[in-house]
Structure 1
Amino acid sequence: MTWDDVLASGLTLPGMEASTSYGTPALKVRGRLVTRLRTEDDSLVLHGVPPDEREVLMAVDPRVFHVTPHYAGHPAVLARLAALEPERLWPFLVRRWREVAPRRAVAGFDAARVGE
Structure 2
Amino acid sequence: MVTVDDVRAICRDLPRSKEHLIRDRVKFRVGSIVYVAFSRDETVMGFGFPKEERAALVAAEPRTFHLPRESDMRFNWVQAWMAELDEEQMTELVLDAWRMVVPKKVWAAYLPRLA
Q: Tell me the TM-score normalized by structure 2.
A: 0.78
Indicate how the Cα distance of structure 1 residues 5 and 112 shifts in structure 2: closer, same or farther if over 3 A, else same: closer
Match of 2:44 in 1: 43
| 1:69-92 C-alpha deviation (Å, 9 max, x unpaired) | 233333211111111112112222
1:111 Cα deviation (Å)?
Answer: 5.2
| 1:28-70 C-alpha deviation (Å, 9 max, x unpaired) | 22343121102267211112321x3111111111111002323
Match of 2:18 in 1: 17
Match of 2:5 in 1: 4
- Distance (Å, rounded) in 1 between the aligned partners of 2:93 and 2:7: 11
Match of 1:26 in 2: 27
Indicate how the Cα distance of structure 1 residues 111 and 42 shifts in structure 2: closer, same or farther if over 3 A, else same: closer
The residue identity in structure 2 corresponding to 1:101 is: V
Match of 2:80 in 1: 79
1:110 Cα deviation (Å)?
Answer: 4.2
Query: How many matched pairs?
Result: 113
- Distance (Å, rounded) in 1 between the aligned partners of 2:42 and 2:10: 21
Match of 1:54 in 2: 54
Indicate how the Cα distance of structure 1 residues 109 and 19 shifts in structure 2: closer, same or farther if over 3 A, else same: same
- Distance (Å, rounded) in 2 between the aligned partners of 1:111 and 1:40: 34
**Can you give the 5+ residue segments of structure 1 that lack an aligned partner in the other structure?**
none
- Distance (Å, rounded) in 1 between the aligned partners of 2:42 and 2:63: 13
Greater shift in the superposed pair: 77-86 or 11-20: 11-20
- Distance (Å, rounded) in 2 between the aligned partners of 1:9 and 1:112: 13
Q: Tell me the TM-score normalized by structure 1.
A: 0.77
Q: Percent identity?
A: 23
**Can you give the 5+ residue segments of structure 2 that lack an aligned partner in the other structure?**
none
| 1:85-116 C-alpha deviation (Å, 9 max, x unpaired) | 12112222222222322555324214545xx4
Greater shift in the superposed pair: 4-13 or 33-42: 33-42
The residue identity in structure 2 corresponding to 1:5 is: D
SS in 1 for 2:63: coil
